[in-house]
Amino acid sequence: MKKPLSLKNGIKEFILDDWNDFHDLIISDITRKNYVYRGQKDEKWKLEPTLHRNLKSLSEDKFIIQKTKLLEAFKISLRGKTNYYKDVINDENELWAIGQHNFLHTPLLDFTLSPYVAAYFAFYEKEYDGEYRIIYAISQKNIIENHDDSLEVFKPTTDYNNRLINQSGLFVNFKSKDDIETLVTKKYALNKDGKIKMYKIKIKNDQREKCLISLNKMNINHNTLFPDLYGAALYCNLGLQINNY
């Protein structure tokens, strides 16, 4: 059953006891095309990138200094290791995107245009003892594109990352140390227009197998989202874990 909670600070939250309610929610409530989605296995995790989590204790000035040093060090370390070096060396966003793909701490956070891909990433990891998995839906128009340059939507143009293509993926580049929910709350306090800026969709953790079986029938799985040996191996592993997968 879908349990909508009241709108608070521009954020509307739903709690779903059954995976089957997710499709109905997407069709009936989140109908506009300008939303981007992100799934996380732990509802307590903030919407913030790895760089921010690792440098959280620093002041804004020191954070910027360390961020600049990291990118410069990555530029030097890339030499001789990629065919795209000349194409990206002067493009900060593209450099961060390459780093994101290779486990560098970056100011980027992965999103997707597909709510179902986001649901997959919320559920595919088994080890979690919390009550809910979570999918976020964020309005690009109301949050990212009009947010005083605190957030920037970025779609890489180089073709080094086939995973991003298969996942209908894009990045949000954080220009502020705040997580997205904090930014939404701050902006809503200044302009209480009653509009929904973000959805939080919590789904019961015990719906994992039902969700993944359903998504596999939609051809959303590690084999399609990660078109490489890594994806093939994890896809086969899930087949061992889940009956009728």
Tell me the per-residue pLDDT of 168-177, one tens digit each, with 9 for 90 and over: 999 999 988 8
DSSP string, 32-49: -TTEEEEEES-TTS-S--
199-212 residue pLDDT tens:
999 999 999 999 99
Kindly report the length of the chain. 245
Distance in angstroms between the alpha carbons of the first and the last residue of the chain: 25
- What mean pLDDT comes out for the span 65-82? 92
Using CB atoms within 10 Å of the CB of residue 74, give its burial: 0 to 12 exposed, 13 to 18 middle, 19+ buried: middle
Residues 186, 175: Cα–Cα separation, whole Å: 15
Confidence of residue 148 (pLDDT cuts 50, 70, 90): low
Residue ranges of domains in the chain: 2-241
Q: What per-residue confidence (pLDDT) applies to 55?
A: 95
The model's pTM: 0.92
* 118's tokens: 């986001």
Q: What per-residue confidence (pLDDT) applies to 7?
A: 85
Higher local confidence (pLDDT), 84 or 112: 112
Residues 94, 154: Cα–Cα separation, whole Å: 9
Helix (H, G, I), strand (E, B) or coil at 179: coil
Q: Are 151 and 93 in contact (CB under 8 A)?
A: no
pLDDT at 179 exceeding the cut of 70 = yes
DSSP H or E run through 59: none
User: C-alpha 68: how far from its chain's center?
Assistant: 23
HEC profile of 184-213: HHHHHHHCCCCCCCEEEEEEEHHHHHHHHH
Q: Are 120 and 220 in contact (CB under 8 A)?
A: yes
* Mean pLDDT over each residue of the chain, to the nearest integer: 91
Q: Give the CA distances from residue 53 to residues 41, 63, 152, 163, 179, in Å, rounded to whole numbers and listed in that order.
A: 17, 11, 18, 24, 10
5-38 residue pLDDT tens:
778 898 999 999 999 999 999 998 887 788 999 9
